[in-house]
Amino acid sequence: MSEVLLEVQQVTKRFGGFQALSEVSLTIHAGERFGLIGPNGSGKTTLINCISGVLRPDAGRIRFRGLDITAWPAHRRTRLGLVRTFQIPRPFMSMTVLQNLAVPLEYAAGHADAGAQAWRLLEQLRLADKAHLRPAELTQIDLRKLELARAVAARPVLLMADEVMAGLSSGEVDEVLAILFALNAQGIAIVMIEHIMRAVMRFSERIAVLDAGVRIAEGTPEEIASNRDVEAAYLGV
């Protein structure tokens, strides 16, 4: 297997008396397509927040590209190529779509020619005709695509896509899925956090399952589909 990109080692996170994550470990390799699933409240987004630096874990270590980034601020992780999207899109409301992309291009990717790069991205995600609109004028699917485009503009080595397809129609899911496949083909490793099983199963090479803050299973989509514990977690048996 190819080189190890991200190592999450026994990460624990508590909110007051609530144990959101208990010693969760994960390993993700370069160029991999990884699925992260689990019922609502199982700790998926908390894990992403810990990995991206939005939250500081109470215990455990996080290594990325061989560096211990556990105590790094989020922007430095992003600059190292560890980029995430937000479940509910968080566009910069006062900026146009194009200007939204300029932020990561200038600050994370360090592009000398941010303008051309932004247009190339907009073409790839079929947003070019909306370049001069503001987020308030965009549809749901376009907001999701903007969220993705902005993350890709930060030049990720590993992209964590947090429920980018939630609430989209079946055709739109296929469109976003195609975009993610294309990004992966460019060499970007992708962690997909998703509820839409059809999409995760089709996309992922490996899947990890979280339940109540514990990683209860990991394997290929076929293994996960036939795993008893996973079935129990989802059906609440």
Partner 1 sequence: MRVLRPLAAVVAAVLLAYLLTTVVHNRYYYFAAYVVLQYVVLATAWNILGGYTGYVNFGTAAFFALGAYTAVVLLKTWKAALLVMVVAGGAVAGLLGLGIGYLTLRLKGVYFSIATLALAVVLQTLIMNWDYVGGATGYYAIRPRTVPLFDDYVAFLFVVMVLLAALSLSVAWAIEHSRLGRGLAAIRDNEEAAECLGVPTLRLKLLATTLSGALMGMAGAPFPYFITYIEPASAFNLDYAVNSLAMPMIGGTASWLGPLVGAVLLGTAQQVATVTISSELNLLIVGVVLVAFVILAPEGLLGLVRRRQQRRPA
Residue in 53, 57, 60, 213 binding partner 1, rule: CB under 8 A: 53
43 vs 91, which CB is nearer to partner 1? 91
Establish if 95 lies at the interface with partner 1 (CB under 8 A). yes
- Residue 114 near residue 102 (C-beta atoms within 8 A): yes
Establish if 57 lies at the interface with partner 1 (CB under 8 A). no
With CB under 8 A as the contact rule, which of the stretches 52-60, 62-70, 183-191, 212-220 interacts with partner 1? 52-60
Establish if 6 lies at the interface with partner 1 (CB under 8 A). no
Q: How far is CA 14 from CA 18, 51, 58, 87, 199, in A?
A: 6, 15, 7, 21, 30
Q: Is 144 exposed, middle or buried (0-12, 13-18, 19+ CB in 10 A)?
A: buried
Token pair belonging to 192: 């997909």
Shortest Cβ 125–partner 1 spacing (Å): 16
114 vs 165, which CB is nearer to partner 1? 114
Q: Is 41 helix (H, G, I), strand (E, B) or coil?
A: coil
The single-letter DSSP state of residue 55 is S
Shortest Cβ 39–partner 1 spacing (Å): 25
In this structure, the number of other CB atoms found within 10 A of the CB of residue 173 comes to 20
Query: Which residues form the interface with partner 1 (CB under 8 A)?
Result: 52-54, 73-76, 78-79, 83-84, 86, 90-95, 99, 102-104, 106-109, 150-151, 153-154
